[in-house]
């Protein structure tokens, strides 16, 4: 599930599921000016199926299905699909034309004020501050809030195991998924049960019954039978995050699998539970997954032990 941007702008669904897609044969000349997304926008193929966009920043490859408002692009042309205009922004990648606007027109008209993250977007005389616009655009083009670290090429066996479980289960009984080798997709588990299952299926030496978050914390900080504590700054894709208050049960603890570089509360994770908006295993960010109580809890980052 995608994170809501700091502006609270709703995602623009654009087009619903269509049984047939009519594409005009005429593609007009490329747009000469850079354009800006005034709304968040899904990315589609020419058949109106949602697709991904990628970018690399600081050596990390990110993936998204949504361009965030404030991002700039230079479309290579437009296309009419099922009677609606789309801009082409890549190889077989299209976005609704209604979600884009000329960059210059957008800010000069004054409509760009809500995207500004600087205080001096306009000069005292009302004229546009080009330096402030350049800063704003750069900030949004570097923004990864709508992106996820691309783990599709990862060889980490725990990440591979966890990814296969995305979309599985309802939150509930610890081991309500049945056989760990062939878990029931419509079964139940909780946060630590999911981590145990992903580790078990990846071949790690966990016990034959799912552990609790307190069990995980104690092992990572003590016996190291299946987890070994590491500094938070060293956490990477395929490590485990544990946070507890008190006995760690129910709302007193949480556990997840780290799915990207350590970025504090912005660290990407794969989890069960955590935030009430998703009822199945999903990707999210750490800070958005924890209650105020857990944000003040004891964090433990750990690396799975190989035998």
Please check whether residues 266 and 130 belong to one and the same domain: no
DSSP letters for 203-264: T----SSPPPHHHHHHHHHTT-SSEEEE-GGG--TT-EEEEESTT--GGGEEEEEE-SS-BT
pLDDT above 70 covers a percentage of the chain that reads 79
Please check whether residues 76 and 133 belong to one and the same domain: yes
Look at residue 49 and tell me if it is in a domain.
yes
Please check whether residues 129 and 260 belong to one and the same domain: no
List helix spans (H) across 142-190.
157-163
Q: Which residue, of 149, 180, 211, is where some domain finishes?
A: 149
Structural domains of the chain, count: 2
Per the structure, the complete domain to which residue 166 belongs is given by 157-304
Please check whether residues 70 and 203 belong to one and the same domain: no
Q: Which residue, of 104, 120, 149, is where some domain finishes?
A: 149
Give the Cβ contact number of residue 67 at 10 Å.
24
**SS3 at position 303:** strand
Please check whether residues 74 and 176 belong to one and the same domain: no
Q: Which residue, of 115, 149, 183, is where some domain finishes?
A: 149
pLDDT at residue number 276 = 62
pLDDT at residue number 187 = 96
The overall average pLDDT reported for the chain is 81
Look at residue 21 and tell me if it is in a domain.
no
Please check whether residues 93 and 187 belong to one and the same domain: no
Residue 33: band (very low, low, confident or very high) from pLDDT cuts 50, 70, 90 = low
Please check whether residues 287 and 171 belong to one and the same domain: yes
DSSP single-letter state for residue 128: B
Look at residue 244 and tell me if it is in a domain.
yes
Look at residue 122 and tell me if it is in a domain.
yes
Look at residue 2 and tell me if it is in a domain.
no
- Which tokens sit at 123? 């000069």
List helix spans (H) across the chain.
103-108, 130-141, 157-163, 191-201, 213-221, 286-289, 292-295
What CATH number did the domain enclosing 249 receive? 3.90.1720.10
Please check whether residues 186 and 298 belong to one and the same domain: yes
Look at residue 20 and tell me if it is in a domain.
no
Look at residue 26 and tell me if it is in a domain.
no
pTM (2 d.p.)? 0.63
Higher pLDDT, 91 or 7: 91
Residue 288: band (very low, low, confident or very high) from pLDDT cuts 50, 70, 90 = confident
Per-residue pLDDT tens for 126-166? 676 778 777 777 776 766 655 667 677 778 999 999 999 99
Please check whether residues 173 and 286 belong to one and the same domain: yes
Please check whether residues 107 and 196 belong to one and the same domain: no
Look at residue 217 and tell me if it is in a domain.
yes
Please check whether residues 62 and 143 belong to one and the same domain: yes
Please check whether residues 106 and 204 belong to one and the same domain: no
pLDDT at residue number 20 = 34
């Amino acid at each position: 599930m995608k994170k809501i941007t700091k502006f609270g702008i709703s995602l623009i669904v654009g087009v619903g599921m269509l049984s047939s897609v009519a594409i005009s044969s005429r593609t007009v000349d490329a747009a000469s000016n850079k354009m800006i997304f005034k709304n968040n926008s899904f990315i589609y193929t020419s058949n109106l199926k949602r697709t991904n966009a990628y970018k690399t920043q600081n050596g990390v490859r990110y993936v998204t299905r949504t361009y965030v408002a404030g991002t700039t692009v230079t479309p290579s042309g437009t296309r009419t699909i099922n009677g609606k205009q789309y801009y082409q922004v890549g190889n077989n990648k299209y976005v609704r034309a209604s979600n884009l606007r000329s960059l210059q027109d957008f800010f000069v008209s004054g409509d760009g004020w809500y995207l500004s993250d600087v205080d001096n977007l306009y000069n005292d005389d009302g004229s546009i501050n080009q330096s402030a616009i350049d800063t704003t655009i750069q900030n949004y083009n570097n923004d990864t809030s709508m992106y996820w670290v691309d783990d599709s090429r990862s060889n980490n066996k725990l990440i591979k195991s966890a990814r296969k479980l995305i979309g599985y289960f309802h939150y509930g009984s610890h081991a309500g998924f049945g056989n760990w080798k062939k878990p029931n997709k419509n079964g139940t588990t909780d946060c630590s049960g999911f981590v145990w299952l992903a580790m078990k299926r990846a071949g790690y030496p966990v016990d034959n019954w799912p552990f609790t978050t307190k069990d995980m914390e104690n092992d990572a900080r003590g016996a190291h039978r299946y987890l070994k504590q590491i500094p938070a700054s060293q956490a990477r894709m395929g490590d485990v995050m544990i946070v507890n208050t008190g006995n760690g049960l129910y709302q007193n603890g949480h556990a997840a699998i780290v799915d990207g570089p350590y970025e504090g509360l912005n660290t990407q994770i794969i989890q069960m539970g955590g935030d009430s908006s998703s009822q199945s295993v999903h990707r999210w960010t750490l800070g958005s997954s924890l209650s105020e109580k857990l944000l003040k809890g004891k964090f433990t980052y750990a690396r799975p032990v190989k035998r």
